[in-house]
Chain A
Amino acid sequence: MNERLISQVPLFTTLPENEIQRLAEMLRVFETPPNIVLFREGEQGDRFYIVLAGQIEIIKAMDTADERRLSLRGPGEYMGEMSLLNRDGLRTASARTYTATRLLEMTRADFDALLSRQPALAYEMVRVLSLRLSNAHNASLQDLREKNRQLTEAYESLKAAQAQLVEKEKLEHELRMAREVQASLLPRVIPSLPGWEFAAHWEPARRVSGDFYDFIPLSRPESSDAWGLVIADVSDKGMPAALFMAVTRSIVRASTAGASSPAESITQANRLICADAARGMFVTLFYAQLDPAAGDLTYVNAGHNPPWLYRAEAGEWEELTRTGMVLGMFGAHTLTERVVRLQPGDFVLMYTDGLTDATNAQGERFEIERLRQVMDARRGASASDLVTALYEAVSRFRGDNALFDDITCLIVKRLAGREFVHEQVPPRPSGSQRP
């Protein structure tokens, strides 16, 4: 049986019959299942194997990240000869069965004896070794090329990632600058009027905001220290809203300077905003002109959520409802105005819907009810205390829930006689502004 198998091995086909018989007595035939390691790279080798059936993987750096298969040896091929020929006797690669395999095994002593009896075999082995060496060179070269390609690819990815990072940093920087510019558009000075108190809070949901408020000093024949009060909310967020906010603020300032009445001012502002409004953007705006001597607040509500007027004497709330449509939709729209007179102790709370729409982790909105509860609990408080209480209540309510929309609120209060004495403190550049 073994003789027939041995005579079919290409390496032994030229051997005389008596040598085949000798080998058949000498060599051991054995079988292994797949994934069995026959020998490991670096080990001392004293066996030579010939594959009769199945396949064996010859592997460099086995079981490491760099593991690489050098070749797959099939029936008639052999392995393990190098450690028998090398001076140090160490395995130059590992061998692992790829499939179920049938092998012939030869010891070092048998191998040496066979080569000295049959020197022609050595020539045959040298020929095969030379072929394998050439294949190994080609494989190494290809390997190097592949590694080089991967390196180039990694380098290009790194370069692109770095460019993105630089771009992102640039954008971040621009956003920071935009926020600073936007904050500088908010009033630097809170009006200082005897008998009146003002407070405001501005909190963007993102870096920049579509909300704004403004205090505009007006020169009116009927009142030399009249002020225009503005709160507005652009129907978008982020940079487009911030740009639209800046345009709206300038237009409203310009429109209020020359016009004789709030309705005329805001009607004109709407015409100008419509000329600039892109992509269906619009702005809800509440504008009120305060005549501090009389206590009259003449207002235009262009689609803004109604501010609350608290009547101190009656302990009641009034809504300052719509007097026209949102700005930026129809240039031809004419807005109207209304007048309310604030008595001592009365105050008006203006806010954007980011405040009442702030949500908690359960998805509930803050809503007007909670706003009213906060206000009701502090009816006699100063404007700045009311504003602080309000944004603290909203912060507590939403907890870790991110701010979904910008929040702005503004309070104007006519002081009762006993509140008359107060200190003027310079406002902060952004966030809360309190006298």
Chain B
Amino acid sequence: MNIAVSQQPGRVPVTVFRITGEINTNTYEQLQEQARQAFAAGARNLLLDLSEVPYVSSAGIRALNNTFNLLRTDAPGENAEAMSKGLRDGTFKSPHLKLLNPSSVVLKTLNMAGVDMFLEVHTDFDAAIASF
């Protein structure tokens, strides 16, 4: 797996990870580590471009969950109470971590695990950046 990191100046600065290769047992820690490094360097909004990711295993879901937790804050829209209500009503989505262009196979895996219940999935790069 390879991760190309770039910065996009949107309404807020967005860090983009363009991932190439499977996110599986052997690679998920690399994604987590890269996210940790970006966070330590000040990144607070992350867009994961999955267009070149052919497969995401359960370990990959775990990496997404970890990254979601890494970027989560106690702001009014995403504190425990808001999340609890939003998850119940199906209105909660992370304002800090979003996904771009997963393949149909990957999207099926993400949906199966329920990742789409807390992460936005975009198909247009500009719209994704503007959504942060």
Q: Which residues of A contact B (CB under 8 A)?
A: 233, 235-237, 280-282, 284, 302-306, 321-322, 324-326, 329-330, 332-334, 353, 357, 404
Q: How far is the CA of A357 from the CA of B105 in the complex (A)?
A: 13
- A305 and B65 in contact (CB under 8 A), knowing A235-B58, A235-B59, A325-B117? no
Pick the residue among A235, A304, A334, A404 that contacts B62 (CB under 8 A): A235
Q: Please tell me if the beta carbons of B65 and A329 are within 8 angstroms of each other in the complex.
A: yes
Q: How far is the CA of A233 from the CA of B113 in the complex (A)?
A: 12
The residue of chain B having its C-beta at the shortest distance from the C-beta of A277 within the complex is: B65
**Is B104 among interface residues, defined by CB-CB distance under 8 A?**
no
Q: Please tell me if the beta carbons of A282 and B61 are within 8 angstroms of each other in the complex.
A: yes
**Is B87 among interface residues, defined by CB-CB distance under 8 A?**
yes
Contacts of B62 in A (CB 8 A): 235-236, 280-282
Q: Please tell me if the beta carbons of A236 and B118 are within 8 angstroms of each other in the complex.
A: no
Q: Please tell me if the beta carbons of A357 and B69 are within 8 angstroms of each other in the complex.
A: no
Contacts of A302 in B (CB 8 A): 114
19 further A-B contacts with Cβ under 8 Å, apart from A330-B87, A333-B88, A334-B88, are A235-B59, A235-B62, A236-B59, A280-B63, A282-B61, A284-B58, A302-B114, A303-B113, A306-B112, A324-B114, A325-B113, A325-B114, A329-B65, A330-B118, A332-B83, A332-B84, A332-B87, A333-B117, A353-B58
Pick the residue among A280, A322, A324, A325 that contacts B66 (CB under 8 A): A280
Pick the residue among A281, A284, A332, A357 that contacts B113 (CB under 8 A): A284
Q: How far is the CA of A357 from the CA of B25 in the complex (A)?
A: 12
Closest Cβ of chain A to B36, distance in Å, is 12
Closest Cβ of chain A to B103, distance in Å, is 15
The residue of chain A having its C-beta at the shortest distance from the C-beta of B58 within the complex is: A235
Q: Please tell me if the beta carbons of A326 and B113 are within 8 angstroms of each other in the complex.
A: yes
The contact string, 1 if C-beta is below 8 Å from chain A, for chain B 65-96, is 11001000000000010011001100000000
Closest Cβ of chain B to A280, distance in Å, is 4
**Is B111 among interface residues, defined by CB-CB distance under 8 A?**
yes
Q: Please tell me if the beta carbons of A305 and B112 are within 8 angstroms of each other in the complex.
A: yes
**Is B57 among interface residues, defined by CB-CB distance under 8 A?**
yes
Q: Please tell me if the beta carbons of A280 and B113 are within 8 angstroms of each other in the complex.
A: no
Q: Please tell me if the beta carbons of A334 and B87 are within 8 angstroms of each other in the complex.
A: yes
Closest Cβ of chain B to A258, distance in Å, is 22
13 sample A-B contacts, Cβ–Cβ < 8 Å, listed by A number? A235-B62, A280-B66, A280-B69, A282-B61, A303-B114, A306-B112, A324-B114, A325-B118, A329-B118, A330-B87, A334-B88, A353-B57, A357-B57
The residue of chain B having its C-beta at the shortest distance from the C-beta of A334 within the complex is: B88
Q: How far is the CA of A332 from the CA of B90 in the complex (A)?
A: 12
Closest Cβ of chain A to B110, distance in Å, is 10
Q: Please tell me if the beta carbons of A235 and B61 are within 8 angstroms of each other in the complex.
A: yes
Q: How far is the CA of A325 from the CA of B88 in the complex (A)?
A: 11
Q: Please tell me if the beta carbons of B65 and A280 are within 8 angstroms of each other in the complex.
A: yes
The contact string, 1 if C-beta is below 8 Å from chain A, for chain B 5-41, is 0000000000000000000010000000000000000
Q: Please tell me if the beta carbons of B58 and A233 are within 8 angstroms of each other in the complex.
A: yes
Q: Most B CB atoms within 10 A — which of A236, A306, A322, A329? A: A329
Contacts of B84 in A (CB 8 A): 332
Contacts of B25 in A (CB 8 A): 237, 404
Closest Cβ of chain A to B87, distance in Å, is 5
Q: How far is the CA of A237 from the CA of B58 in the complex (A)?
A: 11
The residue of chain A having its C-beta at the shortest distance from the C-beta of B80 within the complex is: A332
- A332 and B61 in contact (CB under 8 A), knowing A280-B66, A325-B113? no
Contacts of A282 in B (CB 8 A): 61-62, 65
Q: How far is the CA of A303 from the CA of B111 in the complex (A)?
A: 8
Q: Please tell me if the beta carbons of B83 and A330 are within 8 angstroms of each other in the complex.
A: yes
Q: How far is the CA of A101 from the CA of B66 in the complex (A)?
A: 75
Q: Please tell me if the beta carbons of B83 and A326 are within 8 angstroms of each other in the complex.
A: no
Q: How far is the CA of A61 from the CA of B117 in the complex (A)?
A: 79
